[in-house]
């Protein structure tokens, strides 16, 4: 549920990544300007994305934190321009700051995608309760840009992530957020070893059967292998197909056309088997 509008989760939805940052880990996702970002977002909708996620702060390991006012200056013009260009499109803002979320929602965003969902800005629940916006609650163990190196493998990462997301959802509901607003993201690559990220991706079916819509964001992340993000496109599409096969509701991707095409073929084959 996003601001009173039900988003239909029939088959996996594609969430496209558009970054208005100079330093996001995948150079191909960086827009040069607000106008470029709006054009990219509109192209993603035309290519079949159901959601466009606009980010103004890099989440790559070692990135510098971005002040909320700078982040707002980056993302708000993009959200506003994309809303004008694509009035029916679902727009997400990728932020951990309540002030940025509020400004983006006022500009026309529908969803807040929060990488710091387990330890959110104290005002985030208030923003969500007042706006009715959708919320992607991400597991990242108190994430900060500087805090993603040297993490240890979890004893049972699936149990840990499931329990933490459930507890955070309960806290949000106690603060007035409707549970229908909340989706879960296990935070692949965020404060996780590569093996733990693989275990979480492998457990997609368990999460997809749980209490909230499930978002998988594996696209071009380090655990997929390869020295550079530019070479991880095929593995990213494969991960998205796996997530779809296991029941994920949303796959967050850089490669929209490739993922949409692969999902179309997968779903057509699935229909033929079930006919």
Which residues, 6+ apart, have CB-to-CB distance to 248 below 8 Å?
12, 204, 208, 214, 215, 216
Alpha-carbon distance 67 to 100, whole Å?
10
Quote the distance between the C-alpha of residue 38 and its chain's center: 18
Of the listed 40, 74, 221, 232, which one is catalytic? 221
CB 210 within 8 A of CB 162: yes
What is the number of residues in the chain?
A: 275
Q: Is 192 designated active site?
A: no
SS3 168: helix
Of the listed 74, 96, 199, 252, which one is catalytic? 252
What single-letter DSSP state applies at residue 270? Answer: H
**Residue 190: count of CB within 10 angstroms of its CB:** 22
Known catalytic residues? 221, 252
């Amino acid at each position: 549920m996003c601001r009173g509008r039900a988003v239909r989760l029939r088959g996996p939805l594609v969430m496209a990544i558009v970054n208005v940052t100079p330093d996001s880990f995948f150079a191909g996702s960086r827009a040069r300007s607000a106008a470029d970002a709006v054009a990219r977002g509109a192209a993603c909708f035309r290519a079949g994305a159901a959601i466009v996620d606009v980010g103004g702060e890099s989440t790559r390991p070692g990135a510098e934190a971005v002040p909320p006012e700078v982040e707002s200056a980056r993302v708000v013009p993009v959200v506003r321009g994309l809303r004008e260009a694509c009035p029916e499109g679902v727009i997400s803002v990728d932020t951990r700051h309540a002030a940025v979320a509020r400004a983006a929602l006022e500009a026309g965003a529908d969803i807040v995608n929060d990488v710091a969902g387990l330890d959110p800005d104290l005002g985030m629940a208030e923003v969500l309760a007042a706006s009715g916006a959708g919320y992607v609650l991400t597991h990242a163990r108190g994430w900060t840009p500087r805090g993603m190196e040297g993490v240890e493998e979890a004893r049972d990462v699936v149990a840990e992530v499931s329990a933490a997301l459930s507890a955070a959802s309960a806290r949000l509901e106690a603060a007035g957020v409707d549970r229908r607003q909340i989706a879960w993201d296990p935070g692949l690559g965020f404060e996780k070893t590569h093996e733990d990220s693989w275990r979480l991706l492998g457990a997609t079916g368990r999460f997809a059967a749980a209490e909230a819509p499930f978002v998988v964001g594996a696209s071009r992340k380090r655990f997929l292998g390869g020295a550079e993000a530019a070479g991880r496109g095929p593995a990213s599409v494969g991960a998205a197909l796996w997530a779809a096969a296991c029941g994920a509701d949303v796959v967050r991707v850089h490669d929209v056309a490739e993922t949409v095409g692969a999902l179309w073929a997968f779903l057509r084959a699935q229909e033929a088997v079930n006919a």
